[in-house]
Structure 1
């Protein structure tokens, strides 16, 4: 969109303005900021102002926001889901490549499992723990907490799943810990 979307957007906006009898500025004219002296304003064309100062800036802000919200795993998941889009006859879906990669990943996993005794001990615990986590998710993530962030949700899930451990810790000890942290922060 950033590299190739400007021309189609400008065309769509121009068509819209013409249909509704809205004046379309000449993109080669100079752009002047209201309230500033025309002599003190840098010479910038309408095209540069709308393209570089607005369009590209907004696209960059959106990209930054998306990069902040989605980690590499989330992006891979979104890409995988996009492969099932019927647009262009599922052109992003490459079954042969995906199967070859999946076979390779499975072979590496099997080799790792056979060569490390720790995997055999961890697997039943991890399976039970993840099952418990999913059932706890319905209790923790309610309609009121619908938009909670990942870190906050993870913290809530840990305290919910490990409630026996957390109930053994006294409230006095927790309060003292927070007071110590506050004191340290105030010293900084």
Structure 2
């Protein structure tokens, strides 16, 4: 049956007065909707809207879950990559002797941690320092650190028997401060005034000049210890550094006083009466038990104390045992070999510092190998272009002489394995501070 519908229907103009059908009383639509809040139509509407919201929620939930899965996959990939890196380092070390360089510090979350770096000579004769891991520890006691180190080594089958080691411009600033005092806010002016008072005191100037003298005397040694491509013989400036510091202590006090006084006069800084009684900070002389002159305070409590502290630090890090090791090791320095090849010194080095790395018969063979080494290597024209013991190690491998003179090469490797600073571990901590920030915590 064909029905002729009016073109003006629901789909075009809509049906605006449907609620008025039968005066709104018998309208089928109204009856379907119902007047009660729990009618079938209204319940169905609630269910539909809930499903719509759930669908939208499921989309967001799906994105969150997907992000979590991706993050877990990324972390697993990173961990797997780290495992491969450590495995590669382990294979690179093989059965070589190695040294552990450890440094500890707190991370951004205030947890104690130690960085472990392994130093060794690879199969090509190159010195390698490989960052091997960052371990969180409960405290920094020697026993705790040792336990953490041994745990890391055992997990990667590194034999602790192969560890080797040696044990273990003012006027411009013042002008800026004065400007802050004159123009700044009350809090800024107060801080600037306190800083200005300290910086224009005789004591500050004295300490500043003393630090300058100490840094000038230790600069070469510091540069050697911070060198990235470093072998132990780079620190041979140690002896001269200690001698210069000792000379400064013995003869440099009067010169320092003269420099400080000249500076204070040029900058209009008050110079105290050196013969007057010294009064401690705060001016409470009646509570001060010690009775000495101002000059005694500057000379003994500051000048001598600072220098003695520096010498003590050098002596602790480089004791007589370490210094003797350096001196004997210098017999392997190409520049020293060119002057005089000290075979007896090298044999003494092995006998005193590496007795367990050579069998008795090898110690006897070493001297004969060194004699052939002098004739075959030292007189070689290419040897004259070698400047460091590290270069010597690489050259011996490249020319196959490391296999021809294995005992001599073993001594060289043992010497190269020894570190003289924790520079590499400090670099690793700096790198970790870039990665692990407060935002990551």
Q: TM-score range by the shorter chain?
A: 0.3 to 0.5
- Relative to its length, the structure with more helix (as a share) is 1
If you compute each CA radius of gyration, which structure gives the higher value, 1 or 2? 2
- Relative to its length, the structure with more strand (as a share) is 2
| RCO higher in structure (CA 8 A, sep ≥6) | 2
